[in-house]
Every structure is written in C-alpha cells, then in structure tokens.
Amino acid sequence: QKEVEQNSGPLSVPEGAIASLNCTYSDRGSQSFFWYRQYSGKSPELIMFIYSNGDKEDGRFTAQLNKASQYVSLLIRDSQPSDSATYLCAVLHLGSNYKLTFGKGTLLTVNP
C-alpha cells in the first residue's frame, strides 16, 4: 500500500512568519511530488511540483525534496491570512503516469 502521510495540524503561524508543511511517503519508486492548496468546500488548487532532490522556489513558496529520506516539504514565506487552507501533498508513483496519491492534508491557519 503506497502511503502519503502528513501531519493533520492545525498548524498555526502569525502573519509574516514562515509556515513549514511536511510530507512523507512510503514508496521509494515515487517520482514526482505535488503540493495543492484546498480551501474548505473547494477543489485542490495546484501550487507547485518537484521531482529532483533539492529546493524549488516559486514566489513565496519553496518545495524541498529528499528522496533518500522519503520526505518532501513546502515552505511558505511571509504567510498571509489568505494562505489559511488545507495543504495537500500528492505523489506520482513509478509505473503510474496517471494516478496521484494524496495525503490527508495539513490545515494551516495564519493569524493576523
């Protein structure tokens, strides 16, 4: 069973702080990793993806991947109240080009 685990939170940070969201996965054959943001009652919205070890930056967001540790993270700099949402980690496995396996998500609250 290919699992994707996230701390469900809630993670609470003050406005302007860095929020750090973590995800671990069980399948060493996993090849790509996606971060989605989901507001309550809404659909997942893609933030960014990463498939090489190291960091990938896009605006206030940085994804970090460590395949040896089977760990992927998302950092949100200068957190805003509008960033308050559930953040979903999703994994694409080797041998499947189609199926994303999602974690349950981490609820982030940014306090003004």
Which residues of the chain form contacts with another protein (CB under 8 A)?
31-32, 34, 36, 42-46, 49, 51, 88, 90, 92, 96-105
- Alpha-carbon distance of 24 to 91, in angstroms, equals 10
- What is the smallest separation between the CB atom of 26 and another protein, expressed in angstroms? 14
Taking the least distance from each CB to another protein, the nearer of 24 and 31 is 31
Least distance from another protein to the Cβ atom of residue 62, Å = 17
By beta-carbon proximity to another protein, the closer residue of 2 and 77 is 2
Please answer whether residues 79 and 19 qualify as being in contact, where contact means their C-beta atoms are separated by less than 8 angstroms. yes
Burial 73-88 (b: 16+ CB within 10 A, else e): bbbbeebeeebbbbbb
3 or 55: CB nearest another protein:
3
What count of other Cβ atoms lies within 10 Å of the Cβ of residue 66? 12
